[in-house]
């Protein structure tokens, strides 16, 4: 097999080693939510990795060794994420996939740094997962498979100004959420750069459900759109109450809104809204994979954690194969050199200065005829 062909197959069909006595399996850890309120995302993530590992093993494993997935439930709790990370490191994992949440992933890095074990977060978008803003350096063991919130905010701003041709908007954000505050800031900066003007900006406290007072203020500014960097429940309530007040602005939100729960909560008010996301069930890039998952498990997966987990597994497969080693330090060194390596969602490159993906796609979805539909994808906002 020629070199170019073999490298192209690395993410899916890992290279076989020399014949002889079967070596010990390569242990890959997964920190995932299998119980609790986040289980609907975690269970498909675990299913996806089990299927991916089975494919790798059926094709000869990695370096001629079988892969063993060690998955532990962190129940959506940061302290439990730390505990299971310690446990799987004790089990001998050479790399860890997860967690899906930024808070858990940030907490895990203290453990992975002490042990020198690489981790790749799946859908944790907070920049602090991989970068230490005190030292101005990347966290040595921490990587991620998804985009970061500055890019998500910039994509929303670019889509609004370039595709929707809107230049005047309002923002409603959660003052008690680091995620919401961050997206508010990133969007506002990018929107200004693209020639837009924020005519109103209102904050609320986590858990609030009555937004009519701040919507009354916003209505007087007559915005063309309202940006909602917040969770799905609050976004749905804002949409419903705004329409009740006669506000006709377009709604644009974030990756938390890609869930069927949005539609019954917001009702007709969600029709025509837009939101950014890590991926989509209708994204052409992953359509074949979605069909395979549905055939095996009898239902479509709830995205995006499962897709990002597969990307992470393919990244580790490439790194171990290219390094010809399962030594964690060598895996980390290879990850920092990743350039255009094929993964499920396209090609993955890692920025060695931040440990974040370069130009990781961000999709835009819309609600049309009471269904969430894929619209387009961005790999940059230049």
Q: In what order do the strands lie in the sheet with 67-73?
A: 67-73, 26-32, 95-97, 119-121, 142-144
Q: Is 267 left (phi over 0), alpha (psi -120 to 50) or beta?
A: left
Lowest mean pLDDT among 39-43, 62-66, 85-89: 39-43
Is residue 358, in this structure, part of any structural domain at all? no
Does residue 166 sit in the same domain as residue 248?
Answer: yes
Q: Under a CB-based contact definition with an 8 Å cutoff, are residues 215 and 241 in contact?
A: yes
Domain encompassing residue 335: 3-147+283-351
CATH at 87: 3.40.50.2300
* Model pTM score: 0.83
Residues 143 and 256 both lie in one domain? no
DSSP 249: P
**Same domain flag for 23 and 159:** no
Task: Calculate mean pLDDT across residues 220-240.
Answer: 96
The dihedral sign for the CA sequence 85, 86, 87, 88: positive
Q: Is residue 92 in a domain?
A: yes
Query: Using one digit for the tens of pLDDT, what is the confidence trace for 202-226?
Result: 999 988 999 999 999 999 999 999 9
- Section 236-253 average pLDDT: 98
- In terms of domains, do 24 and 137 share one? yes
- Give the pLDDT confidence of 304-357 residue by residue, as tens digits: 899 999 999 999 999 999 999 999 999 999 999 999 999 999 899 999 999 999
In a domain, 97, yes or no: yes
* 299 and 205 inside one domain: no
**Predicted pLDDT at 37:** 80
Domain count for the chain, please give it.
Answer: 2
pLDDT attached to residue 258 = 81
Q: For residue 22, what pLDDT band results from cuts at 50, 70 and 90? A: low
Give the 3-state secondary structure of 310-351.
HHHHHHHHHHHHHHCCCCHHHHHHHHCCCCCEEECCEEECEE
Question: Does 346 reside within a domain?
Answer: yes
362 forms beta bridges with: 378
* Same domain membership, residue 237 and residue 322: no
Question: Are 268 and 371 within one domain?
Answer: yes
In a domain, 222, yes or no: yes
Instruction: Report if residue 356 sits inside a domain.
Output: no
pLDDT for 5 beyond 60: no
Q: Which two tokens stand for residue 360?
A: 């990781």
3-state secondary structure of 195: coil
What does pLDDT average to over the chain? 92
How many Å apart are CA 213 and CA 307, to the nearest integer?
40
Same domain? For 230 and 372 the reply is yes
Same domain, 328 and 217: no
**Residues 271 and 292 reside in one and the same domain:** no
Residue 329 lies in a domain: yes
Say whether both 259 and 288 belong to one domain: no
Shared domain for 7 and 131, answered yes or no, is yes
State pLDDT tens for residues 256-312.
888 778 999 999 999 999 999 999 998 889 999 999 999 999 999 988 899 999 999
In this predicted structure, the answer to whether residue 167 has a pLDDT above a threshold of 90 is: yes
Q: How far apart are CA 315 and CA 313, in angstroms?
A: 5
């Amino acid at each position: 097999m020629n070199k170019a062909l073999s490298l192209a197959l690395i993410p899916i069909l890992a290279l076989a080693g020399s014949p002889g006595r079967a070596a010990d399996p390569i242990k890959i850890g997964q920190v995932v939510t299998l119980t609790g309120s986040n289980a609907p995302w975690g269970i498909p993530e675990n299913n996806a990795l089990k299927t991916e590992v089975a494919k790798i093993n059926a094709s000869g494993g990695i370096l001629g060794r079988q892969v063993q997935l060690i998955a532990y439930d962190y129940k959506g709790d940061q302290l439990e994420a730390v505990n299971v990370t310690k446990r799987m490191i004790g089990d001998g994992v050479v790399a860890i996939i997860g967690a899906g949440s930024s808070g858990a992933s940030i907490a895990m890095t203290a453990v992975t740094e002490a042990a020198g074990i690489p981790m790749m977060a799946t859908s944790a978008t907070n920049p602090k997962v991989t970068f230490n803003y005190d030292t101005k350096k990347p966290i040595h063991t921490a990587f991620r498979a998804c985009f970061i919130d500055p890019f998500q905010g910039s994509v929303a701003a670019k889509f609004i100004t370039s595709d929707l041709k809107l230049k005047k908007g309002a923002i409603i954000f959660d003052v008690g959420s680091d995620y919401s505050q961050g997206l508010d800031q990133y969007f506002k900066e990018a929107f200004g750069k693209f020639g837009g003007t924020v005519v109103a900006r209102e904050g609320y406290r986590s858990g609030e459900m009555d937004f009519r007072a701040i919507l009354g203020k916003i209505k007087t500014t007559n915005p063309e759109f309202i940006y909602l960097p917040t969770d799905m429940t609050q976004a749905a309530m804002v949409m419903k109450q705004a329409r009740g007040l006669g506000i006709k602005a377009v709604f644009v939100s974030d990756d938390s809104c890609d869930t069927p729960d949005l539609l019954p909560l917001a009702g007709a008010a969600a029709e025509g809204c837009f939101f950014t996301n890590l991926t989509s069930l209708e994204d052409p890039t992953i359509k074949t994979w979605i069909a395979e998952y549905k055939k095996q498990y009898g239902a479509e997966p709830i995205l995006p954690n499962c897709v990002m987990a597969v990307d992470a597994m393919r990244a580790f497969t490439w790194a171990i194969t290219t390094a010809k080693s399962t030594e964690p330090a060598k895996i980390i060194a290879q990850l920092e050199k990743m350039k255009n390596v094929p993964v499920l969602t396209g090609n993955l490159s890692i920025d060695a200065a931040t440990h974040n993906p370069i130009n990781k796609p961000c999709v835009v979805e819309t609600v049309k005829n009471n269904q969430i539909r894929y619209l387009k994808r961005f790999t940059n906002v230049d």
